[in-house]
A = this chain, B = another copy of it.
Amino acid sequence: MAEKAGVSVATVSRALNGSGYVSKEARERVLAAARALDYHMNVNARSLTSGKTYTIALVLPDVTNPFFPAVARGVEDYASDNGYCVMLCNTDGNSRKESDYLAMLRSRKVDGVIFAVSVPSKSRINTLLDDGIAVVLVDRDLGDSYDIVKTDNIAGAMLATNHLVGLGHTRIAFISGPAQLATSQERFSGYRDALMSKGIPFDERLVIEGDFRMESGHEAMCQLMNGFDCRDRNGFTAVFAANDLMAVGAVTALEESGLRVPTDVAVMGYDDINIASVMRPRLSTIAQPKYEMGWIAAETIIKRMSEPKGSRMEEILQPMLVVRDSTVERRGALA
């Protein structure tokens, strides 16, 4: 390549990177040679000296969870527009897998990792940071120590709860996410606080912990039905699930018991995944700007890489109430 153009490797490098002085003529010869040889820079070799790999990792529990593909897409779009590649890492919420991956990413010198934490471990993250790897959290918060992009879960849960209350419900069950996640805790707070503020007593027997997966929603619902008779005003007349997947499970359980949604019990989800608008009854839910979250996370991490010492960045997006058929009965609806 250098010979082909009749110049030194240094000049080639300068020509290709537009750094330093290169005569017009030399540049053209280099470019011509590059084209002729179909030459492509070896990015890995470059990273050896530059320290930058132009790679970021997206570490999340499971792409198969419909919440994440949109986030991933957002990350990827912003990243690729800026010359970055993104590695996809599924942890299954498994501590071991998570730390294995982080080690892998460290030894690959990724520039940054966008992290939907499933086991809250600050030391894990600090290790990355100490290594000079930028980190931004998405969705799953971890206190106020790290850059984060999330939605306002408390507001979202209040939106949901208030909607239910507005419909006349006072006995509202809550199917929570994994208790150790801030995301779950926040949604729970929103639920409880909304109740309180309306003067509705909070009954902890109405709260069951799930794990964000469909089956756990089904299970939780069964447990709930076991403990209470929902045809009884002292039972419950509505359920708010901390994510749509669990809401789907809950609806299924309800139907299996011959209960009608929303007539017998109203169901509210969270996330607004694609399923929500297609299932029957269509699921009322709290929409999160998933794609934007990913996009902004990528933007944030790239910004962070350019100033590692800058002050903490926090992007809190607003969730939105989407009312469909699982909470209010439509009269004269087509379907």
Count of this chain's copies in the oligomeric assembly: 2
Cβ B86 vs Cβ A88 within 8 A: yes
Per the bound structure, the CA–CA distance linking A42 and B107 in Å amounts to 5
Q: With an 8 A cutoff between CB atoms, is A280 at the interface?
A: yes
Which of A72-80, A150-158, A234-242 has 4 or more CB atoms under 8 Å from chain B? A72-80
Contact A73 B63, CB 8 Å, known A40-B107, A48-B48, A87-B85 = yes
Cβ A43 vs Cβ B80 within 8 A: no
CB distance from A102 to the nearest CB of B (A): 10
Q: Most chain-B CB neighbours within 10 Å: which of A45, A55, A274?
A: A274
Question: What are 12 pairs between A and B in contact, CB < 8 Å?
Answer: A40-B103, A40-B107, A41-B107, A44-B44, A44-B47, A68-B69, A69-B69, A76-B89, A87-B88, A248-B278, A256-B334, A280-B281
A76: which B residues are within 8 A, CB to CB? 63, 88-90
Q: With an 8 A cutoff between CB atoms, is A28 at the interface?
A: no
A89: which B residues are within 8 A, CB to CB? 76, 80, 85
Q: Identify 19 new A-B residue pairs, CB closer than 8 A, beyond the known A40-B107, A63-B73, A85-B89.
A: A43-B107, A44-B47, A44-B53, A58-B88, A63-B72, A66-B66, A66-B69, A66-B274, A68-B69, A72-B88, A76-B89, A76-B90, A80-B101, A87-B87, A255-B334, A255-B335, A279-B280, A280-B281, A280-B335
Per the bound structure, the CA–CA distance linking A42 and B248 in Å amounts to 45
CB distance from A105 to the nearest CB of B (A): 8
Kindly identify which residue among B55, B87, B90, B334 contacts A77, using a CB–CB cutoff of 8 Å.
B90
Q: With an 8 A cutoff between CB atoms, is A104 at the interface?
A: yes
CB distance from A294 to the nearest CB of B (A): 11
Scan A16-54; emit 1 where CB is below 8 A from any B CB, else 0: 000000000000000000000000111111011000010
A335: which B residues are within 8 A, CB to CB? 255, 280
Cβ A44 vs Cβ B40 within 8 A: no
Q: With an 8 A cutoff between CB atoms, is A64 at the interface?
A: yes
Per the bound structure, the CA–CA distance linking A48 and B49 in Å amounts to 12
Cβ B64 vs Cβ A69 within 8 A: yes
Cβ B109 vs Cβ A44 within 8 A: yes
Closest to A283 in B: B278
Cβ A85 vs Cβ B72 within 8 A: no
Q: With an 8 A cutoff between CB atoms, is A275 at the interface?
A: yes
CB distance from A79 to the nearest CB of B (A): 10
Scan A315-335; emit 1 where CB is below 8 A from any B CB, else 0: 000000000000000000011
Kindly identify which residue among B55, B63, B275 contacts A69, using a CB–CB cutoff of 8 Å.
B63
Q: With an 8 A cutoff between CB atoms, is A205 at the interface?
A: no
Q: With an 8 A cutoff between CB atoms, is A70 at the interface?
A: yes
A279: which B residues are within 8 A, CB to CB? 275, 278-280
CB distance from A216 to the nearest CB of B (A): 16
Per the bound structure, the CA–CA distance linking A108 and B87 in Å amounts to 13
